[in-house]
A and B are shown apart, each in its own frame.
Chain A
Amino acid sequence: SQELEQSPQSLIVQEGKNLTINCTSSKTLYGLYWYKQKYGEGLIFLMMLQKGGEEKSHEKITAKLDEKKQQSSLHITASQPSHAGIYLCGAHRSYNTDKLIFGTGTRLQVFP
């Protein structure tokens, strides 16, 4: 089983709608990253959260890391077709490693 579970696995929304993607771990996360991937292309860094309770926003995308640092959510406001792609969360498993493990991914489609 995956160490990082994302939900939902896929999402189809109408343009303009809000949506949330979750990333859940059974263990404490050290450094939580959100990436976006267009189909068959490389990963684009979105943002990184480290402290419990931390929240960051970039344009219409907001990410939060819960207090216990075991779950993160990515919220997109007023979705646009340009938001379509695969969203992946990544995390360090311990303080002493910079190896990133990744979640299962959420495929987002936005239709007009």
Chain B
Amino acid sequence: DSGVTQTPKHLITATGQRVTLRCSPRSGDLSVYWYQQSLDQGLQFLIQYYNGEERAKGNILERFSAQQFPDLHSELNLSSLELGDSALYFCASSVMGTGDRGNREGYTFGSGTRLTVV
């Protein structure tokens, strides 16, 4: 157990629907990162939150949004789902935000949520 908890582990939904993925970071970690992993695109950075605020944005679609709550857990909302959104979605956490120069422990990843859009 890495300490980063992601739920649900698996999700099957239809095109056009909306889903919410949840992540609880490792105890003491203030930053949460969301990644999408698909066969053709590899592991792509979506968005980072640090202590409740958005800190960095990557290749995140407008149909996707995220937030981090006061208890530091984070949710990734995916709407108007398309077949191409099927992927593994990972959450990672680290102690610090910007300025964490080479966290020597690396980021701690959750086990992911496998989303299948049918």
- A residues near B, CB below 8 A? 2, 30-31, 33, 35, 40-45, 48, 50, 88, 92, 95-105
Partner of B42, one of A35, A41, A43, A105: A105
B64 at the A interface (CB under 8 A): no
- B residues near A, CB below 8 A? 2, 4, 31, 33, 35, 42-45, 48, 56, 58, 88, 90, 92, 94, 96-112, 114
Check if B98 sits within 8 Å of A42, measured CB to CB. no
Check if A42 sits within 8 Å of B111, measured CB to CB. yes
CA distance in complex: A88, B106 (Å): 13
Check if A48 sits within 8 Å of B108, measured CB to CB. no
Residues from chain A with a CB closer than 8 A to the CB of B105 are 45, 48
Q: List 18 A-B contacts (CB under 8 A).
A: A30-B101, A31-B102, A31-B103, A35-B106, A42-B90, A45-B106, A45-B107, A50-B101, A98-B48, A98-B94, A98-B96, A98-B98, A98-B103, A99-B45, A100-B45, A102-B42, A102-B44, A104-B42
Check if B103 sits within 8 Å of A42, measured CB to CB. no
Closest B residue to A34 by beta carbon equals: B106
